[in-house]
Amino acid sequence: MKATAPRGRRPRRKEAAAPSPAAIESVPLAVGDKRHPVLGLGLWGLGRWSAEDEARTRATIGRAIERGVRWFDTAEVYGAGRSERLLGDVLRRATEGAQALVVTKLSWEHLRANQVRASLVRSLDRLGRASVDLYLVHAPDRRVPLAETMGALEQLQQEGRIGAIGVSNFSVEELEEAGRHLRSTQLVVNQVRYNLFDREDAEAVLPYCREHGIVVEAYTPLARGLLNGRYLDGRRPPAEVRQYAQDLFGESRLPEIVRQARGLQQLAAEAGVPLPSLAFHWVRARGAAPVFGASRPEQVDANLDAWAQRPDEATIARADALVRGERA
Ligand SMILES: NC(=O)c1ccc[n+]([C@@H]2O[C@H](COP(=O)([O-])OP(=O)(O)OC[C@H]3O[C@@H](n4cnc5c(N)ncnc54)[C@H](OP(=O)(O)O)[C@@H]3O)[C@@H](O)[C@H]2O)c1
């Protein structure tokens, strides 16, 4: 129910009021003393890296810091290093920057032992830090034995340049193998794609990760804006969005997904929450930590407002059934 101010005593609307920080819980990491917030901001799709895009990205990261976000995800491949550079710069200038959990990733093209060290050194240089809190293998490459990559990462962790080691896009078999090659430490994170419409990869690894104390970070939790209500009016996602989300926005799946998303929107309206609340809290309820993308401050605001509104369990269960049911 909406609270209304008594007649005649309606408070004046504050212009440009400072946004309040969102309450974002965190969980301890299995290695080191850092905690892992359960909601974070990812810095992949940030436009075309024009000066205007960069200014907007700085403002976006700045807004996220103001709003209480403390987990930032980047990678050496994002904008060919520009994402790391911008993040490092904004965090250095912010008072709260030192509290952030900074996560970056080793490219799947740099998994050889000699490449691992060189990649990390370049990433640290761009981030302007002596060490990174969490370093993830972006994706496996079957041509490079995991023993080689894990050995190099462990060495760098022992030197204090990596707080903890994680992976991304790993199956259970790959997690087991990577774990076998770590002698004095363990994997703390597996970052995988997870949203109401894309479940298979994450659900295949969630039980194993739970059992082994590995945090599952869920990327693309908003289905590239679809779960913010985008494209529900029948507009087609632009080519650059389709290119990286083919299985989601391919011709054969899109009409069904849009129909389901409209159903979710109606469900969210009935429950009195914004659509992305359902998207985020469905992921959270399944034991994963969403890392969303945003390319402007207003998106950060909308997403954090959505996070702050938690649908009840019955609504989350109905959202789940709606997508599963219509698929069957
Ligand atoms: N490990 C991996 O292989 C991997 C792969 C993909 C992503 N990731 C990480 O996960 C992060 C998130 O992934 P993602 O960008 O695919 O996920 P997403 O959160 O599902 O989608 C983000 C996009 O949705 C749109 N959006 C966000 N908030 C919105 C709002 N309030 N209203 C309208 N549109 C909104 C924006 O598109 P516009 O910018 O077009 O406005 C934004 O860039 C990435 O930044 C990256 O750090 C990792």
Choosing from 222, 236, 249 the residue with most ligand 1 atoms within 8 A of its CB, the one to mutate for a pocket test is: 222
Q: Which of 218, 225, 265 is nearest to 241 (CA)?
A: 225
**Is the CB of residue 102 below 6 angstroms from any atom belonging to ligand 1?**
no
Half-sphere exposure in the Cβ direction for 129 (13 Å, CA): 29
State how far the Cα of 301 lies from the Cα of 304, in Å rounded to an integer: 5
As a whole number of Å, the CA-based R_g of the chain is: 20
Which run of H or of E encompasses 244?
helix 239-244
Residue nearest to atom 23 of ligand 1 (CA): 224
Ligand 1 binding pocket includes 43 (Cβ within 6 Å): yes
The residue whose CB lies within 8 Å of the most ligand 1 atoms, and thus the one to mutate among 50, 52, 219, 248, is 219
Task: Tell me how far apart the alpha carbons of residues 274 and 266 are, in angstroms, rounded to a whole number.
Answer: 10
Report all structural domains of the chain as residue ranges with CATH numbers, in order of start.
26-231+277-310 (3.20.20.100)
Instruction: Dump strand ranges (E) for 138-234.
Output: 162-168, 187-193, 215-219
Terminal CA-CA length for the chain: 35
CA angle 163, 164, 169 (to 5 degrees): 140
> Tokens representing 128?
């302007």
**Residue closest to 83 by CA, chosen among 304, 298, 293, 301:** 293
What per-residue confidence (pLDDT) applies to 21? 64
**Residues catalogued as catalytic:** 78
Q: b/e string for 114-152 if b means 16 or more Cβ within 10 A? A: ebbbebbeebbebbebebbbbbbbbbbbeebebebbbeb
Whole-number Å distance between alpha carbons of 11 and 72: 36
Q: Token pair of 28, please?
A: 């301890």
Backbone angles phi, psi at 69, to 5 degrees: -70, 135
pTM: 0.93
Which H helix or E strand runs over 278? helix 275-285
Measuring from atom 30 of ligand 1, which residue has the nearest CA? 299
In SS3 terms, 217-240 reads as: EEECCCHHHHHHCCCCCCCCCCHH
Contacts of 23 (CB under 8 A, 6+ apart): 68, 308
* E strand or H helix that includes residue 290: strand 288-293
The protein residue whose alpha carbon is closest to atom 34 in ligand 1 is: 225
Does ligand 1 come within 6 angstroms of the Cβ of 45? yes
Alpha-carbon separation of residue 25 from 67, 183, 193, 289 (angstroms)? 13, 31, 21, 10
- Cα separation of 123 and 131, whole Å? 10
Give the pLDDT score at 55.
93
Q: Which atom of ligand 1 is the closest one to the Cα of 276?
A: 31
Q: Which residue's CA is the nearest one to ligand 1's atom 5?
A: 219
**What token pair was written down for 120?**
């990390």
What gap in Å lies between CA 315 and CA 165, rounded to an integer?
36
**CA 321 / ligand 1 centre spacing (Å):** 24
Which residue's C-alpha comes closest to atom 25 of ligand 1? Answer: 225
Contact, 100 vs 70, CB < 8 A? Answer: yes
In the predicted model, residues of the chain with pLDDT beneath 70 are 1-22, 47, 246, 326-328
pLDDT for the residue numbered 6 = 36
Q: Which of 101, 108, 299, 309 to mutate to test the pocket of ligand 1 (most atoms within 8 A of CB)?
A: 299
